[in-house]
Amino acid sequence: MPPEITINGDRLWESLMAMAEIGATAKGGVCRLAASEADKAGRELFIKWCVDAGCEIVADEIGNLFAKRAGEDTDALPVVMGSHLDSQPTGGKFDGVYGVLAGLEVIRSLNDAKLSTRAPVEVAVWMNEEGARFSPAMLGSGVFAGAFSLDYGLGRTDKDGVALKAALVQHELAGIAPVGRKLGAHFEAHIEQGPILEAEKKTIGVVTGVQGIVWFDVVIAGSECHAGPTPMEMRIDPVQKAASLLTQFFTLAREYAPHARVTVGEIHSHPSSRNTVPGKVQFSLDLRHPEPAILQTMHRKADAIVKKENLCGAPVSLEEIWHSPPVAFDENCITAVSNAAAKTGYPFKEMVSGAGHDSVYISRVAPTAMIFVPCKGGISHNEAESAEPHDLAAGCNVLLHAVLEYAGLCEI
């Protein structure tokens, strides 16, 4: 491979900024909900660019979109660069879009350099990654990977009761290609959505997997009584119990540092009156760890904490409401990304994704890895989401070289 091959960072940036005008919000963000008018417009712009770059366009029945650049070997499985074009209602310019347009930029750069590859190279736009319009998230990639049936996916409805199927028909977003097929590899470039790369002054995150997540609802039943006359020792106080539980749950994060995450996003007392000991305190508990065994241990310890607290005072229940097992990406794909980062000379580090991505499902059916680039302050799912052009270009260069390692380069 000629060492000088590199992507065009300015063109990538211009494409990102042009795409950000579609569904642009007043605060500088983007609202491009899945299978909406704006999503349709974004996909049309993307298709135009891909056709100009000589790609063949294919959509499948759930609305996943593929732009294919043919390879020399017609039997070779395609190397896919995928992410999503849909956004949160008050999303940013980079989440998802970056992985798609970085893929396009790789194809454009191969064209510029007049290089062909042994295996075909594709860009994938997965449908409804955010889950903001249709729940669950990562729906298009989930159906592609067989995690959900096609009927289940098409039947998901938004808050107005519109089914994904109807929205796809309305905007002519679905194709006739069956959902799911063999891929040679799947690479996803994405902003980190966390603060680690920025804090450690690394340009590239070589993503080795995705944290496992368990969600719980914690309910502590107290006995309502008056704040004044009731002696402390006669109270069944769910707030005192909550303080003890929270302290112990957060201790799990320290015990399994640095990768464990413990988050309580919601906590509420009922009835909410300042001179009444509450009859109930509820809180959410979100436990994460990249190692299945450790996540399981954290889960077991949370159970044990609750069991012990149930021996006296206000009774507690811990209910698991969702579980997403940890994902380990493909060793060879991870190595391809590491090699690409080393070759291009950017400072990089291996890391685990804390958030879910299309690659979580695609990794079940294809060798997969991800490439992270820094975003400002780690802020994402926010109109203030921001990333530096030189970091985005760096990630795209790493994507190019990782893809070429799999697709194999031939001069035209």
Window 125 to 184, contacts with its own copies (CB under 8 A) = 130-132, 135, 137
Determine if 194 is a binding residue for its own copies (CB under 8 A). Answer: yes
Q: Which residues on adjacent β-strands are paired with residue 93?
A: none
Site residues for its own copies, 109-128, by CB under 8 A, read none
Q: How far is the CB of 200 from its own copies (least distance, A)?
A: 11
Q: Among residues 8, 111, 240, 296, which is the contact residue for its own copies, using CB under 8 A?
A: 240
Return binding residues for Zn(2+).
Answer: 84, 95, 130, 190, 381
* Distance, CA of 194 to CA of 201 (rounded, Å): 13
Judged by CB under 8 A, how many residues of this single chain contact its own copies?
76
Taking a C-beta distance cutoff of 8 angstroms, is the pair 380, 92 a contact?
yes
Taking a C-beta distance cutoff of 8 angstroms, is the pair 364, 180 a contact?
no
- One-letter amino acid of 308: K
* Distance, CA of 314 to CA of 309 (rounded, Å): 8
Return binding residues.
Answer: 84, 95, 130, 190, 381
- Residue written as token pair 């879009």: 97
Q: Among residues 78, 380, 393, 401, which is the contact residue for its own copies, using CB under 8 A?
A: 380
Binding letters toward its own copies, positions 76-95, x by CB under 8 A: ------------xxx-----
Give the interface segment with its own copies, choosing from 69-77, 119-127, 276-284, 395-403 (CB under 8 A).
276-284
**Cβ distance to its own copies smaller for residue 28 or 178:** 28
Determine if 211 is a binding residue for its own copies (CB under 8 A). Answer: yes
Residues 6+ apart with CB under 8 A from 126: 64, 82, 83, 84, 138, 140, 141, 144, 358
Determine if 48 is a binding residue for its own copies (CB under 8 A). Answer: no
Q: Among residues 72, 73, 112, 224, which is the contact residue for its own copies, using CB under 8 A?
A: 224
Q: How far is the CB of 148 from its own copies (least distance, A)?
A: 18
Q: Among residues 53, 204, 253, 402, which is the contact residue for its own copies, using CB under 8 A?
A: 253
* H or E segment and range at residue 165: helix 164-170
* Distance, CA of 327 to CA of 339 (rounded, Å): 21
Q: Among residues 356, 367, 374, 395, which is the contact residue for its own copies, using CB under 8 A?
A: 356
Residues 6+ apart with CB under 8 A from 144: 60, 62, 64, 126, 179, 180, 361, 362, 365
Determine if 195 is a binding residue for its own copies (CB under 8 A). Answer: yes
